[in-house]
Chain A
Amino acid sequence: MNGKRDTLLTVRLAAEGENLSAEALPMALLGALGDGIETFVLGGARLGAEAPVFRVEQGSILLHFFSTTAIAASIFASGLGAALEAIDAGLLPGDPKRAAALSSMRRFLQEDKANARTIAFEVPERFRVEGLVKVVNVTISQNTTLRQGSLMPRVFEEGTLRGKIEKMGNEGDPGFDVRVAGEPKLIHVRATKEQLTGNPNLFLPIVARVRYRLNPATGDRSETTLVRFIDRPTDPKVVLREIVEAGTKAWADIPDPVAWLRDLREA
């Protein structure tokens, strides 16, 4: 295999308050479960990924999937990312092979043959950062119920947000809530601690570039995330004076800018 070998995903079988051991999971059972998990992860096509490696660690049984980063990216993009996101949203994966594999895993948990109570899918953080998968940790248990349905389309856009911060987050959620004039609800903005260091305080006006998820059917925006703050100068007249000085100079050789623009549009 070419390229750097990397962890694609770790599947963790665990039991609350109990240690799972390799002895608790007979080989035949482990093999059947492993096949189901492999089908779920790889979607029935190996795509260059290696067979999973089993390991017992801190009372959990782990299945490590390895591949190169490029292959991992293609596996997430070709359905694993959407399947994990669907489960996280309480929905069955749209891919029938993955949905069937998931059903077999749930049956395994319900039959309680190995004392395993949960199966967690742990995605390395870097794949979330690269936008391949929205979630990093999805867990199913014997009580997990999923319904048929479809995820909101993944349409992401960027825009400007201006308003006043009315609520700051905390250590676990370092975002903030913004009151926008004319909008009845506060808008929650996700941010990192680094982005907020030395930045606006409560009740001060802010201007920010944000990224959000758009529901094309309703126009609703969600998952608003801070891209960066835009400094708002204290004296707009001074700013405008500078802009006009530079603009007048830049357009000096165009006698009629509106005619120039019309020509550009008709070219």
Chain B
Amino acid sequence: MNVREKRPVIFLDTSAIISLVDSKCRHHDAMVAFFDVWSQEECTVRVIVSAIAVAEYTVKDDFPKQLFAYFDMEAFGLKAAEKAGSLRRAWDAANGKPKSNVATRDQIKDDFKIVAHAISEGADVIITADAASLAKYAAFANQTEMTEMIVWTLDKGFDVCIAKGEPPDLVSNQV
């Protein structure tokens, strides 16, 4: 995907949102730095939050809806559902099928759906602090050539160029 030809799209995992709102999180300052960029009126980056992330967050507390002034909250729609199914199918083919259909149903878990949702929205980057599972699924989707989406795990620093809406080959800094 050539980010020069379209608005950069950044997808936020639930863990990234929690890191933004909870000041004790290790990566809070980094997320605040991003928010400062994204909340500028002239910023052309589209930042998306999945309705599934809203559901996960809401298990603990009401989702801060003020963020919708800056981030696009998108429903998990038809395209995302199709992507989730095909990603799961590819995952099973690569890692072996689960023992029963019930397990298959249960194992299209929310982090899997968030990755699929990001792909269906044409995300260039997905930001997560969940290196253990979500980042793994996103990396797998990338390997299967289902997407060229880059996974930014919060513990590895960032390429701030895309966050600023600049072509990624011009600047490569770390927060």
The interface residues of chain B lying within 8 Å CB-to-CB of A254 are 60
Contact A233 B69 (CB under 8 A): yes
Q: Do B60 and A260 have beta carbons less than 8 Å apart?
A: yes
Cα–Cα distance between A261 and B132 once the two chains are bound (Å): 11
In the complex, the chain B residue whose C-beta lies closest to that of A162 is B72
Interface residues of B in 73-122 (CB under 8 A from A): 73-75, 77-79, 109-111
Please indicate the chain B residues that have their CB under 8 angstroms from the CB of A251 in the complex.
18, 21-22, 24, 60-61
Please, which residue of chain B has its CB at the minimum distance from the CB of A153? B78
Most chain A CB inside 10 Å of its own CB: which residue of B32, B56, B69:
B69
Q: At the interface, yes or no: A24 with Cβ under 8 Å from chain B?
A: no
Number of interchain pairs (Cβ within 8 Å): 117
A172 interfacial contact with B, CB 8 Å: no
Q: Are B18 and A243 in contact (CB under 8 A)?
A: no
Are A262 and B130 also in contact (CB < 8 A) when A250-B60, A251-B60 are?
A: yes
CA distance A265 to B107 in the complex (A): 10
In the complex, chain B residues whose CB is within 8 Å of the CB of A160: 68, 72-74
Q: Tell me if B158 counts as interface (CB < 8 A to partner A).
A: no
Q: Distance (Å) between the CB of B140 and the closest chain A CB?
A: 16
How many residues on the A side are at the interface (Cβ–Cβ under 8 A)? 39
CA distance A160 to B74 in the complex (A): 7
Option from B18, B39, B70, B72 in Cβ contact (under 8 Å) with A159:
B72
Closest to A182 in B: B7
* A231 to B: closest C-beta gap in Å: 7
B14 to A261, Cβ gap below 8 A?
yes
Contact partners of B171 in chain A: CB under 8 A: none
A251 to B64, CA, bound (A): 13
* Whole-angstrom distance between the Cβ of B122 and the nearest chain A Cβ: 9
A158 interface neighbour in B7, B25, B75, B133, Cβ under 8 Å:
B75
**Residues of B contacting A247 with CB < 8 Å?**
18, 20-23, 61, 64
CB distance from B128 to the nearest CB of A (A): 9
B169 lies within 8 A of chain A by Cβ: no
B69 touches A258 (CB 8 A): no
Tell yes or no: A155 within 8 A of B by CB: yes
Whether a CB of chain B sits under 8 angstroms from the CB of A240 is yes
Contact assessment for B15 and A231 in the assembled complex, using a CB-CB cutoff below 8 Å: no
* Minimal beta-carbon separation of A108 from chain B (angstroms): 41
> Which residues of A in the span 76-125 have a Cβ within 8 Å of any Cβ on B?
none
Q: Is B67 an interface residue (CB 8 A)?
A: yes
B64 touches A246 (CB 8 A): yes
Task: Check if A248 sits within 8 Å of B23, measured CB to CB.
Answer: yes
Which residue on A lies nearest to B44, using beta carbons?
A: A181
- Is B12 engaged at the interface, CB distance under 8 Å to the other chain? no
Contact residues, A214-264 vs B (CB, 8 A): 214, 216, 219, 230-233, 236-237, 239-240, 242-244, 246-248, 250-252, 254, 257-258, 260-262, 264
A157-B75, A160-B72, A160-B73 given as contacts; is B22 within 8 A of A258 (CB)?
A: no
User: Is A244 within 8 A of B111, CB to CB?
Assistant: no
B59 at the A interface (CB under 8 A): yes
Interface string of B2-22 (1 = CB under 8 A from A): 000011000000110011111
Of all A-B residue pairs in the complex, the 9 with the closest CB atoms, nearest first, are A247-B21, A236-B39, A160-B72, A182-B7, A250-B61, A251-B22, A157-B77, A248-B23, A257-B18
Task: Identify the A interface with B (CB < 8 A).
Answer: 155, 157-160, 162, 181-182, 205, 207, 214, 216, 219, 230-233, 236-237, 239-240, 242-244, 246-248, 250-252, 254, 257-258, 260-262, 264-266
Given A207-B68, A236-B40, A242-B66, 7 more pairs with CB closer than 8 A? A157-B78, A232-B69, A239-B69, A243-B20, A254-B60, A262-B133, A265-B133
